[in-house]
Amino acid sequence: MTALSIASWNVNSVRLRAPLVAKFAAETRPDVICLQEIKCRDGEFPAAAFRDMGYPHIHVRGQKGLHGVAIASRLPLDPLPDEALCPRAEARFQRVKIAGVEIQNYYVPAGGDEPDPAINPRFAHKLEFLDAMQAYFARRAAEGAAIIVTGDLNIAPYEHDVWSHKQLLKVVSHTPIETEGLERVRETGGFTDIARALIPEPEKLYTWWSYRARDWRAGNRGRRLDHIWASAALRGAALAGGRDGFAIFEDCRGWDRPSDHVPVLARLKL
């Protein structure tokens, strides 16, 4: 049996946040780190800093200034085609194979403020992106492949994934069209939400706290936007470790010049 630990973190600019990633990597030593919102082109990724952290194998899907995803690994990785999945061709999806596991890294569109696709093109894009994910999973479901889906999905699916279910029902990230859509996507692919399989409701779980709060810790108005899912072939490996199989690194939100998201981590026993 071998262990494989996979972290996911929306860093909100990898060039600015590379020192924080280094601190996290030194403390937690994940085998793989999936990043979102790197906000740079491929060639601007701070690859040398990641090599120094012990992650020489890197796959970047960047774009100028906005969005962008990257995967950094201690183990060799094989890039896989990204299927041009994003309906607007933004850098929001990539996939690789590491130690026999396919890792898919997503940055789902945030969707703007108004949860109505008829008047808000960014919300329409978010729903189109979910449709594209569902169609992709439907095409691949019969394979039975060992797949990890991770990233900033920008949706808090369950009641206890937000600080106030009632007050967020009309707020983008927790509206029924989004939460039901994400459930459909997950079920289409036969994926297990590792966090909730190991840490069931009603325990509150958050991975994001707004920059705009006066005191993020005191108010604790968080949302669980960052996810790690395991395909049916990996469900046993994902749940074998019990509660230690999943972690949220809330302390990172209190570091100097933090991201508004914190890292999440799954520990697989393959």
Partner DNA sequence: ATGGTAGTTTCACTA
Judged by CB, which is closer to DNA: 118, or 142? 118
Q: How many CA atoms lie within 13 A of 193 on its CB side?
A: 23
Q: What DSSP element (H or E) covers 105?
A: strand 101-107
Minimum CB–partner distance for residue 1 and DNA (Å): 38
Contacts of 15 (CB under 8 A, 6+ apart): 39, 40, 44, 46
> Binding DNA by CB under 7 A: which of 16, 141, 233, 270?
16
Q: Using the rule CB under 7 A, is 222 a contact of DNA?
A: no
Judged by CB, which is closer to DNA: 37, or 178? 37
Q: Using the rule CB under 7 A, is 76 a contact of DNA?
A: no
Q: Using the rule CB under 7 A, is 219 a contact of DNA?
A: no
Q: Using the rule CB under 7 A, is 211 a contact of DNA?
A: yes
Judged by CB, which is closer to DNA: 21, or 230? 21
Q: Using the rule CB under 7 A, is 109 a contact of DNA?
A: yes
Distance CA(48)–CA(130), nearest Å, equals: 34
Judged by CB, which is closer to DNA: 61, or 74? 61
Give burial (CB, 10 Å; 0-12/13-18/19+) of 229: buried
**Residues paired with residue 268 on neighbouring β-strands, in sequence order:** 4
Contacts of 256 (CB under 8 A, 6+ apart): none
| Interacting residues toward DNA by CB under 7 A | 12-13, 15-16, 37, 39-40, 64-67, 109-112, 122, 154, 210-212, 257
